[in-house]
Amino acid sequence: MELTVNGQRHQIDAEAGMPLLWVLRDILGLTGTKYGCGIAQCGACTVHIDGMAVRSCQIALADVGGEVTTIEGLGTPDAPHPVQQAWIDHQVAQCGYCQSGQIMSAAAMLALQGEPDDQQIDRIMSANLCRCATYPRIRAAIHDAARRLATG
Amino acid sequence: MIRAALVMLSLVLPAGAEVTTSVVAPPQEGSVSREDGLAAWDRVHAVVSHPRCANCHVGADNIPMWSGPEYPQTGPHGMNIDAGDSRIGAETLPCATCHVTSSAPANGPNDAPAAMIDWQLAPVDMIWFGQSSAQICAQMSDPARNGGRDWIQLAEHLRDDAAHGGFVAWGFAPGGARQPAPGDLQSHIDDVLKWGAAGQPCPE
């Protein structure tokens, strides 16, 4: 089965029903995307499929109908995505486990939303859980990233 | 913005997907008594008011519900979910972020429910959650609030939605440990037609 991840095409030899998250982590070695709950309750496994945030633990390999972007493909250490840069500047992460999912959700939202207010951020990000409760810093970083994206 | 999200959400039906086939065989109009029509309506109502259907047939607040035996108490969908005026979550978090579009929608008991079309709320006019049997009956028999359908077209809608792997078929076969809507799709279509042939009678 063919799968495009972070701009690279891969031939995947796996069961059609294997969750995308398993493919990313165990077959392609892209371990930046995390396994949290496995039932779409926490958001740690969030990736983009054609730009839309999707919980990769929920979608089977056979159902992936577009190009996948993971945290490794959003930006690089030398050229981070504005959301990643804002995350660094605000030192959002505590333990860090949920953060790649948080960043992927935030980046997908900001591609559509412009500059969201606190209520919009809470509505969009409340399905991404953070056990360290870094929520105030997540919100601050999203505001900052939105400003950076707006000014180019 | 919303248009962009809609475009992204409009995924095609996966190849090789299995779909439900059912038959619309309407009785002669007027051939069913009012009494039998009301009895058919009661069975229709048992389906449409079931949590598998009603939880996403909600009002203008655009907030889906969690109700039924799988939940300790009735309340709004967890995680602060708001499907927005788009009814697909385009303004906030798309439903399809978690309720993925799947070629095998009868998934595990703890997975987010999935269908073969993109997950969404029903239109506001078609509110069922918290409504009485008489209110739902009035809505379903009013073309201004039922998508412009007569009674035969209502049955055809059920058949066609199921043929696309949509929510009608999912409601009867939701997978996991979820309680399905009562009966089966063909019986539901037949009941809608009996109710229609009786003149769409509604309870007082």
Position B18 scores a pLDDT of 53
CATH of the domain at A100: 1.10.150.120
List CB contacts (< 8 A) between B102 and chain A: 59-60, 63
Q: What is the pLDDT of residues B5-18, one digit of tens each?
A: 443 343 334 444 45
Position B8 scores a pLDDT of 39
Cβ contact, residue pair A123, B82, below 8 Å: yes
Residue A86 CA to residue B135 CA, distance in Å, equals: 51
Domain assignment present for residue B166? The answer is yes
Domain assignment present for residue B15? The answer is no
Cβ contact, residue pair B112, A58, below 8 Å: yes
Q: What is the pLDDT of residues B121-178, one digit of tens each?
A: 999 999 999 999 999 999 999 999 999 999 999 999 999 999 999 999 999 999 888 9
Greater confidence (A90 vs B109) lies with A90
**B98 interfaces chain A, CB cutoff of 8 Å:** yes
Cβ contact, residue pair B79, A55, below 8 Å: no
Structural domain harbouring A146: 82-151
Position B19 scores a pLDDT of 63
Q: What is the pLDDT of residues B39-97, one digit of tens each?
A: 999 999 999 999 999 999 999 999 999 999 999 999 999 999 999 999 999 988 999 99
Cβ contact, residue pair A52, B8, below 8 Å: yes
Q: What is the rounded end-to-end Cα distance, in angstroms, of chain A?
A: 37
Separation in Å, CA of A124 to nearest CA in chain B? 5
Position B10 scores a pLDDT of 38
Element (H, E) at B75: strand B75-76
Segment A23-31 shows an average pLDDT of 98
**Are A96 and A146 in a shared domain?**
yes
Position B13 scores a pLDDT of 43
Separation in Å, CA of A114 to nearest CA in chain B? 9
Confidence of residue B107 (pLDDT cuts 50, 70, 90): confident
Of B82, B93, B103, Cβ closest to residue A63: B103
**Are A97 and A62 in a shared domain?**
no
**Are A63 and A33 in a shared domain?**
yes
Q: What is the pLDDT of residues A97-148, one digit of tens each?
A: 999 999 999 999 999 888 999 999 998 999 999 999 999 999 999 999 999 9
Domain assignment present for residue B57? The answer is yes
Domain assignment present for residue B203? The answer is no
For B71, residues 6+ apart whose C-beta sits below 8 A from its C-beta are none
State how far Cα B23 lies from the chain centre. Answer: 18
User: Which of A16, A50, A74 is where one domain is finished?
Assistant: A74
State the total domains in chain A: 2
Task: Return the amino acid letter for B193.
Answer: L
List CB contacts (< 8 A) between A58 and chain B: 98, 100, 111-112, 114
pLDDT > 70: what percent of chain A? Answer: 100
Look-up of token digits 């009814």: B87
Look-up of token digits 């409504």: B131
**B11 interfaces chain A, CB cutoff of 8 Å:** yes
State the total domains in chain B: 1
Give helix B133-140 / helix B34-48 axis angle, nearest 10°: 100
Cβ contact, residue pair B97, A52, below 8 Å: yes
List CB contacts (< 8 A) between A105 and chain B: 93
Domain assignment present for residue B24? The answer is no
Of A40, A60, A124, Cβ closest to residue B104: A60
Please report, for residues A4, A14, A50, B121, the alpha-carbon distance to residue A23 in angstroms, rounded to integers and kept in the order given.
12, 8, 17, 31
Cβ contact, residue pair A123, B104, below 8 Å: no
**Are A23 and A67 in a shared domain?**
yes
**Are A48 and A96 in a shared domain?**
no
Domain assignment present for residue B1? The answer is no
Separation in Å, CA of A120 to nearest CA in chain B? 7
Position A152 scores a pLDDT of 73
Domain assignment present for residue B22? The answer is no
Q: What is the secondary structure of chain A as a DSSP string?
A: -EEEETTEEEE--S-TTSBHHHIIIIIS--TTS--S-SSSSS-TTEEEETTEEEETTTSBGGG--S-EE-HHHH--SSS--HHHHHHHHTT--SS-TTHHHHHHHHHHHHHHHSS--HHHHHHHHTTS--TT--HHHHHHHHHHHHHHHHH-
**Are A89 and A144 in a shared domain?**
yes
Give the number of C-alpha atoms closer than 13 A to the C-alpha of residue A73, restricted to the C-beta side. Answer: 19
User: Which of A74, A91, A123 is where one domain is finished?
Assistant: A74
Of B1, B12, B97, Cβ closest to residue A54: B97
Confidence of residue B20 (pLDDT cuts 50, 70, 90): low
Cβ contact, residue pair A54, B96, below 8 Å: yes
CATH of the domain at A66: 3.10.20.30
Q: Find, in chain A, the residue whose alpha carbon is nearest to that of B89.
A: A124
